[in-house]
Amino acid sequence: MPLQSSPVLSYRDDFSFRNSPAAIRRFPFPFIEDSYLYSVNIEPATSRDPGSVYEHAFDIDEHYRSEMAERALILDNDPRRYLVMPHMQAAAWDALQMLMENLAVDYPQWFSLVRDGDRWHWRNHLLRIDQPFIFGDAASLPCAPLEYIGRQVQGDFALLDQRDGDLYMDAGLVTSPADWSLAFDAGMSFKQWHAPVPMAHQMGVFERALKYLLNLQAGQPVRRLNWTLTINPRLDSSPETFHQWGADRGRITAQNVGQQVHLRVELQVMARLPRSNAVMFSIRTYLISLDELVSHPGWGCRLHRVLRDLPDAIADYKGMTRYRQTLVEWLSQFDPLA
Amino acid sequence: MTHTHNRPIVVMQSATAGMAVAADLHKPLLLSGEQPDFSRRLQQALASATVGCRLYLLGDEAFVWRIHAEARAAGLEDDEISVTCTMPGLRQVYCAHCGLTQTAGPEPVLNCIGCNVGLEVRAHFSRRLGAYLGVCINPDQPYAGFQP
Amino acid sequence: MSAALKVQVSAARMLTPVVREFTLTACDGALPAFSPGSHVQVHLPLAEGTVRNAYSLTSDPAHTRHYRIAVRLQDASRGGSQYLHRQVQVGDTLRISPPANLFAPHGTARRHILIAAGIGITPFMAYIATMEQQQADFELHYLFRPGLSDAYLDELQQRLGPRLHAYDRRPDLSRILANRPLGSHVYTCGPQPLIEAVEQHADRLGWPRNRLHAEAFKGAQPGQPFDLQLLRSGRTLRVEAEQSLLEALEHAGLQVPNLCRGGVCGQCITRHQGGAIEHRDSFLSPAEQAEFLMPCVSRGSGPCVSLDL
């Protein structure tokens, strides 16, 4: 999709972030029926629907410059958002390679990669970056490889080490998490970092998902959608800053629901990194205000039914308890049966 | 030479904390946190230990998870370390906001000594940090200060 | 499953009288990157149908201009290794599956103790290349028959110096495993009895199992022929003595996911619903075997087996 050359929009303070009509049309609305319960909703991440968020492995959209500016602000304020344990160096280079190769092939108008053995030349026209470097030599880049490429690709990245029949979150660059902390979760096994999620454990969801991911093959990535709600288009809804944004949940009224409540959808892609055998877990976040969302036929009605019938434990985990009633009442105007 | 360095190691916060455990083990090496040169002795024991060694930790949560991290750094695997919290006492809490790991009691709330945010201690636990996650309990008044 | 790769045999040489090494280059495009311990399945067009054998990649994972595999001639095999030794020439094209890894090094190990027997040296050739680059702490214990199954010995002696321990009979495993610093991990690649012996000695010394890693080279072994009833499709197939059950299914056009073709990875798990079965896998528990079988290695031991396919 075309990139706007307009000024960079903000995900904080005045929250100038907006979606264009084109961005609303391609928004990955996650509900395929009128109710929601956890499932291992994983599918092969093959390219489909040209122009959609599913066309390319790593989606670059009209918010690219804004999101990269926001990431830079967060990283500069809080270096804990980036972490690579020593045994994950190879995986970090692996991730850099996968991201650069994909972007250069999928978006040749914006990114290019020229390789001559270990001597690589990366160009990012959107951010005016022109960087020759030696693959594998961190000193030839301005910063460590995962941070370097992560500052140029939308979405968060966690790198998972596979050992002892489990996956360990031993590296990552995470600046737009839905209420989880890389600094705290680093080093945890798959089940340990999912421990706070209610209900799903009893359903065996994580056992099945882990088994599936341990068998992930290079060249055959998979994807799934996850969702939550966020007040204001705030990318950084991390525990680190909860004391700054948590109060927003108490300020929702019938008058500001449509403008302030945002559906937050994560397009998660899991790919085997071929050189290191690590798994790259990329989390690409899309935000849409409810005013924008209900402009799409059918979405307001479906969201009403999903949120109305959501089990309390899940609603609480997703942080909507304080304003759920206001929200559901507002959404009911879009449901002909309500 | 064989079997000298994979003796079980029992680390107790205080001399009385783990005698029952030690009695069941074969020639355990006993270390007590109350010994004056405890840190040096622990370091030595871990440095000379060989694969096959099992480590038994007894004490409050703050103590056992601190030693656990040291043992992991020395190369012991998780399942070679047995953790028993024998006494209710102190535990570590990681403040999500300023990143400070601090010693706290068993109470569910505290004021962070680093940034003064009132924290709720969640059940989420990190073995790497040996700490529970502490997150602002009242974002409407983050710095109001919780009065215990 | 992803599509097979077409490769050309760009070089071939005898490493010993029974081990032949092949260098494979891509016919079009580039070869996918791989991690140490990876294997590929080589598709072998034998007279009785295509057989797929798994071989470890021995080349340096940092360079994927080509792949290398080393194949031991198996006298009692079903013909796959004989085909590679006697039929395949430089310049021939082969079809291989993309690399997969079921035997990766442990990421947080401080010392890697590699134990290879004979052709079991192959995955460690890639390990060693990577570990040398990463300056990891490792040592190789290599057990072989001199002049017969000692592939790469000269090269390893030069590269590894005192880190190579060579044996022409089974070494005292207790000496290898005793008094190892915390952080040591052991990797064994060789026949099943060696792997079990390492486990027994390690158990005795108190090693926990997650410090032990092993890859057995254990492909499908021949057996008695039997009939196969596919209950869902109503078809009946014949599994020949030299053919695996999985190969018979593939021959009949059925797609069954699979990686190791050695009863280890669990991908080809299939429900059985009748007939006596000889389970030869190391994936299923006895309880699971009552319901499922691994067609890559297991077979019917009576006249007929029924499957939920």
Q: What is the pLDDT of residues C216-234, one digit of tens each?
A: 776 677 788 999 999 999 9
Picking from B2, B53, B54, the nearest residue to C178 by CB comes out as B2
Q: How far apart are CA C150 and CA C16, in angstroms?
A: 7
Answer whether C34 sits within 8 Å of A218, measured CB to CB.
yes
Average pLDDT over every residue of B82-106: 92
C-alpha closest to that of A135 among A108, A112, A116: A116
**A62-106 pLDDT tens trace:** 999 999 999 999 999 999 999 999 999 999 999 999 999 999 999
Picking from A220, A275, A278, the nearest residue to C61 by CB comes out as A275
For B14, phi and psi rounded to 5 degrees?
-135, 160
C208–B contact, CB cutoff 8 A: yes
Q: Kindly list the domain boundaries of chain C, sorted by start residue.
A: 5-101, 111-216, 226-307
User: What range does the domain containing B129 cover?
Assistant: 91-136
**C32-48 pLDDT tens trace:** 999 999 999 999 998 87
User: What range does the domain containing A88 cover?
Assistant: 21-334
Is B51 contained in some domain? yes
Q: Which fold would CATH assign to domain C226-307?
A: Ubiquitin-like (UB roll) (3.10.20)
Report CA-CA distances (Å) from A295 to A68, A102, A289, B30.
27, 33, 10, 70
Q: How many domains does chain B have?
A: 2
Q: Give the range among A145-154, B139-148, C37-46 with minimum mean pLDDT.
A: B139-148
Taking contacts as CB-CB distances below 8 angstroms, the residues of chain B near A245 are: 139
Answer whether C98 sits within 8 Å of A218, measured CB to CB.
yes
Residue of B93, B95, B133, B141 for testing the chain A interface, max A β-carbons within 10 Å: B133
Q: Which amino acid is at A338?
A: A
B39–C contact, CB cutoff 8 A: no
In order, the DSSP letters of chain B are -TTSSS--EEEESSTTTTHHHHHTSSSPEEEETTSTTHHHHHHHHHHH-BTT--EEEEE-HHHHHHHHHHHHHTT--GGGEEEEE-S---EEEEETTT--EEEE-S-SEEE-TTT--EEEEEEEEETTTTEEEEEES-TTSTTS----
pTM of the model: 0.92
Q: Are B38 and B22 in contact (CB under 8 A)?
A: no
User: In terms of CA atoms, which chain B residue is nearest residue C175?
Assistant: B2
Cα C191 to its chain centre, rounded Å, is: 11
Helix (H) / strand (E) containing C31: none
Q: Which CATH class is domain C111-216?
A: alpha beta
Residue C187 has pLDDT above 50, yes or no: yes
Predicted local confidence at residue B3, as pLDDT: 42
* β-sheet bridge partners, residue C5: C96
Q: How far apart are CA B81 and CA C72, in angstroms?
A: 43
Chains interfacing with C (3 or more CB pairs < 8 Å): A, B
Neighbours of A22 (CB within 10 A): 13
Residue of C180, C182, C198, C211 for testing the chain B interface, max B β-carbons within 10 Å: C182
Rounded to the nearest angstrom, the minimum Cα separation between B71 and chain C is 9
Is B144 contained in some domain? no
For A104, phi and psi rounded to 5 degrees?
-65, -35
Predicted local confidence at residue C218, as pLDDT: 67
Q: Are A167 and A210 in contact (CB under 8 A)?
A: yes
C-alpha closest to that of A173 among A79, A313, A300, A314: A79
Largest CA distance in chain C: 61
Q: How confident is the model at residue C260 (pLDDT cuts 50, 70, 90)?
A: confident
Rounded to the nearest angstrom, the minimum Cα separation between B96 and chain A is 5
Helix (H) / strand (E) containing A283: strand A279-289
Residue of A243, A248, A323 for testing the chain B interface, max B β-carbons within 10 Å: A243
Q: How far apart are the first and last CA of chain C?
A: 18
For C201, phi and psi rounded to 5 degrees?
-65, -40
Is B61 contained in some domain? yes
Answer whether A274 sits within 8 Å of C32, measured CB to CB.
yes
Q: How far apart are CA C110 and CA C135, in angstroms?
A: 11
Q: Which amino acid is at C127?
A: Y
* β-sheet bridge partners, residue A240: none
Predicted local confidence at residue B20, as pLDDT: 73
Q: How far apart are CA C82 and CA C76, in angstroms?
A: 10
Average pLDDT over every residue of C139-149: 97
Predicted local confidence at residue B1, as pLDDT: 37
Indicate if B66 and B122 belong to the same structural domain: no
- C302: region left, alpha or beta (phi > 0 left; psi from -120 to 50 alpha): beta
C205–B contact, CB cutoff 8 A: yes
Picking from B125, B126, B139, the nearest residue to A246 by CB comes out as B139
Confirm whether A224 is a catalytic residue. Answer: yes
Taking contacts as CB-CB distances below 8 angstroms, the residues of chain B near C172 are: none
C286–B contact, CB cutoff 8 A: no
**B52-65 pLDDT tens trace:** 999 999 999 999 99
- B52: region left, alpha or beta (phi > 0 left; psi from -120 to 50 alpha): left
Taking contacts as CB-CB distances below 8 angstroms, the residues of chain C near A94 are: 33
Q: How far apart are CA A143 and CA B135, in angstroms?
A: 31
Angle between helix B61-73 and helix B38-48 axes, rounded to 10 deg? 40
Average pLDDT over every residue of A296-301: 97
Q: Are C275 and C300 in contact (CB under 8 A)?
A: yes
Indicate if B67 and B53 belong to the same structural domain: yes
Q: How far apart are CA B53 and CA B59, in angstroms?
A: 20
Average pLDDT over every residue of A142-168: 97
Q: Please identify, among B85, B103, B125, the residue that sits at the C-terminal boundary of a domain.
A: B85
Predicted local confidence at residue A4, as pLDDT: 56
Tokens 């660059």 belong to: A173
B52–C contact, CB cutoff 8 A: yes
Q: ipTM > 0.90?
A: yes
C107–B contact, CB cutoff 8 A: no
Angle between helix C122-133 and helix C153-160 axes, rounded to 10 deg? 20
In order, the DSSP letters of B9-39 are EEEESSTTTTHHHHHTSSSPEEEETTSTTHH
Q: How far apart are CA A265 and CA A255, in angstroms?
A: 24
Answer whether C107 sits within 8 Å of A220, measured CB to CB.
no
Is B25 contained in some domain? yes
Q: Is the dihedral of CA C19, C259, A161, A84 positive or negative?
A: positive
Q: Are A182 and A133 in contact (CB under 8 A)?
A: no
Q: How far apart are CA A188 and CA A168, in angstroms?
A: 5
User: In terms of CA atoms, which chain A residue is nearest residue C100?
Assistant: A217
Q: How confident is the model at residue B2 (pLDDT cuts 50, 70, 90)?
A: very low
Is B42 contained in some domain? yes
Residue A202 has pLDDT above 80, yes or no: no
Q: How confident is the model at residue A211 (pLDDT cuts 50, 70, 90)?
A: confident
From A115, A123, A224, A249, active-site residue = A224
Is B148 contained in some domain? no
Is A189 contained in some domain? yes
Predicted local confidence at residue C221, as pLDDT: 78
Q: How far apart are the first and last CA of chain B?
A: 55
Three-state DSSP at A265 gives strand
Q: What is the CATH number of domain C5-101?
A: 2.40.30.10
Residue C147 has pLDDT above 80, yes or no: yes
For residue A162, what is the DSSP state?
E
Tokens 């429900």 belong to: C271
Is A197 contained in some domain? yes
Q: How far apart are CA A148 and CA B136, in angstroms?
A: 32
Is B37 contained in some domain? yes
For B126, phi and psi rounded to 5 degrees?
-110, 120
Rounded to the nearest angstrom, the minimum Cα separation between C162 and chain A is 25
Tokens 């340990």 belong to: A192
Residues in chain A, total: 338
Arithmetic mean of pLDDT over chain A: 94
Q: How far apart are CA A210 and CA A332, in angstroms?
A: 38
Chains interfacing with A (3 or more CB pairs < 8 Å): B, C
Residue C212 has pLDDT above 80, yes or no: yes
Indicate if B97 and B81 belong to the same structural domain: no
C-alpha closest to that of B101 among B138, B67, B128: B128
Taking contacts as CB-CB distances below 8 angstroms, the residues of chain C near A275 are: 33-35, 61-62
Q: How many domains does chain A have?
A: 1
Q: Count of H helices and E strands in chain A?
A: 13, 10
Q: Are B38 and B31 in contact (CB under 8 A)?
A: yes
* β-sheet bridge partners, residue A160: A169, A279
